[in-house]
A = this chain, B = another copy of it.
Amino acid sequence: MTIKAGILGATGYAGVELCRLLLRHPGVELAAVGSVSFEGKKLYEVYPNLRELCGLECENTDAVIAAADVVFAALPHGLSQETAAVCAALGKKFIDLGADFRLDDGEEYQKWYGCEAVHPELHQRAVYGLPELFREEIKNTDMIGNPGCYPTSVALGLAPALRAGVVETKGLVVDAKSGTTGAGRKPAQNTHFPDCNEAFSAYKVASHRHTPEIEQTLSKVAGEKASVTFVPHLLPVNRGILSTIYARLKPGFGLDRVRGLYEEAYKDEYFVRLLPDGSPVNIRDVRCSNFCDIQLYVDEHGGGDDGLLIVTAVIDNMVKGAAGQAIQNMNLLFGLTETAGLDMIPPAF
């Protein structure tokens, strides 16, 4: 059986990355692509890299839904809810790459995104699609809130330590750095080449919308309320996120113990590579792949009485941080091999 996939928002960066991956997925036919801005245009007219590789024309939302067994929505927040409802009514699986179905708490959603949860029952039904943490729930739903890019790197980077209770849940600091594709396809001053190249800055310091999503996941994993200071920075590269995470170790825990926890947690996870001592993670090494590479350090010195755990985690923000993870979720929803279509080898350069 071949799964028919449709993509809404296919001309955005996450959307076109989905196209690229789904076009080579062994169990999927890319059946339809949607775009409000480019309806009626061939996708390759917007993305000439796809010339002769995808003849699809951008269609409207209804046409995409009609053609698909599973609908991926890579839309600005607030626009997925109605589509989700339509898909639910039609019995089609729905994977939202936006933020509409990530937060459990409607008030938080309202506060950070300024949108109302118009179909509360759908929010109930939607599962947060981070397979390494919530695989079983994912397998048993048909509606996914695909995690944000930053939150993916942070959750994978901290989960084993928080789950085992070896670090404090308060005072967590995430200093994250993202490539420019995270800002989307639309030209803006801060991503204008001469302004962005040879530049580096922090933005939305301690006020980024991914903060509640990060805290929600970490709290779930820890079993108690976690609080995070989240400071993102804009890196002058195309792809990649590196999150440097600082967490206070509880007394009695050292690097060996922590490393053991991570090894155990990820030993069967294809997409998480815990690097051996001495090998730093680099966004370069996960480019165009669905991997999350993790390295651990403990600073005995700087962390007060006890040590400070330092986790560095890298992902490709457009793959494990968006399109790749969405496909991983799709594979779970349909009972396919979880790595199907996702066995890309990151290029060395």
Interface residues of A (CB under 8 A from B): 13, 16-17, 20, 23-24, 47-53, 170-173, 175, 177, 179-181, 185-189, 191-203, 205-206, 211, 227-231, 233, 235-240, 242, 244, 246, 248, 273, 275, 279-289, 293, 297-299, 301-304, 308, 310, 312, 314, 318, 343-349
Known: A202-B312, A301-B227. A187 touches B185 (CB 8 A): no
Q: A48-B275, A50-B345, A193-B196 are in contact. List 5 more A-B contacts (CB 8 A).
A: A49-B286, A197-B238, A198-B284, A200-B237, A239-B349
In the complex, what's the smallest C-beta–C-beta distance from A82 to chain B, in angstroms?
28
Q: Are A53 and B345 in contact (CB under 8 A)?
A: yes
Chain B residues with CB under 8 A of A235: 200, 235-236
Sample of 23 A–B contacts (CB below 8 Å): A17-B347, A20-B345, A24-B345, A48-B279, A51-B285, A177-B177, A179-B194, A180-B193, A187-B189, A192-B192, A193-B238, A195-B349, A197-B238, A198-B287, A200-B283, A201-B281, A201-B314, A202-B312, A203-B280, A229-B246, A238-B349, A288-B288, A288-B347
Chain B residues with CB under 8 A of A310: 205-206, 229, 231
Chain B residues with CB under 8 A of A293: 51
Kindly identify which residue among B233, B240, B283, B347 contacts A20, using a CB–CB cutoff of 8 Å.
B347
A228 nearest CB neighbor, chain B only: B302
Max chain B CB contacts within 10 Å: which of A53, A189, A240?
A53
A229 nearest CB neighbor, chain B only: B302
Known: A191-B194, A229-B299, A302-B206. A348 touches B51 (CB 8 A): no
Chain B residues with CB under 8 A of A237: 197-200, 236
Q: Are B171 and A202 in contact (CB under 8 A)?
A: no
Known: A24-B345, A347-B20. A284 touches B173 (CB 8 A): no
A273-B282 Cα distance, complex, nearest whole Å: 33
Kindly identify which residue among B181, B197, B281, B348 contacts A13, using a CB–CB cutoff of 8 Å.
B348
Chain B residues with CB under 8 A of A48: 275, 279, 282, 285
Chain B residues with CB under 8 A of A200: 177, 235, 237, 240, 242, 282-284, 314
In the complex, what's the smallest C-beta–C-beta distance from A244 to chain B, in angstroms?
6
A318-B194 Cα distance, complex, nearest whole Å: 12
A197 nearest CB neighbor, chain B only: B238
In the complex, what's the smallest C-beta–C-beta distance from A272 to chain B, in angstroms?
10
Chain B residues with CB under 8 A of A13: 194, 348-349
Q: Are B348 and A239 in contact (CB under 8 A)?
A: no
Chain B residues with CB under 8 A of A196: 193
A177-B233 Cα distance, complex, nearest whole Å: 10
Q: Are A17 and B206 in contact (CB under 8 A)?
A: no
- Shortest beta-carbon contacts, A-B, top 6: A229-B302, A187-B187, A206-B299, A199-B284, A201-B282, A175-B175
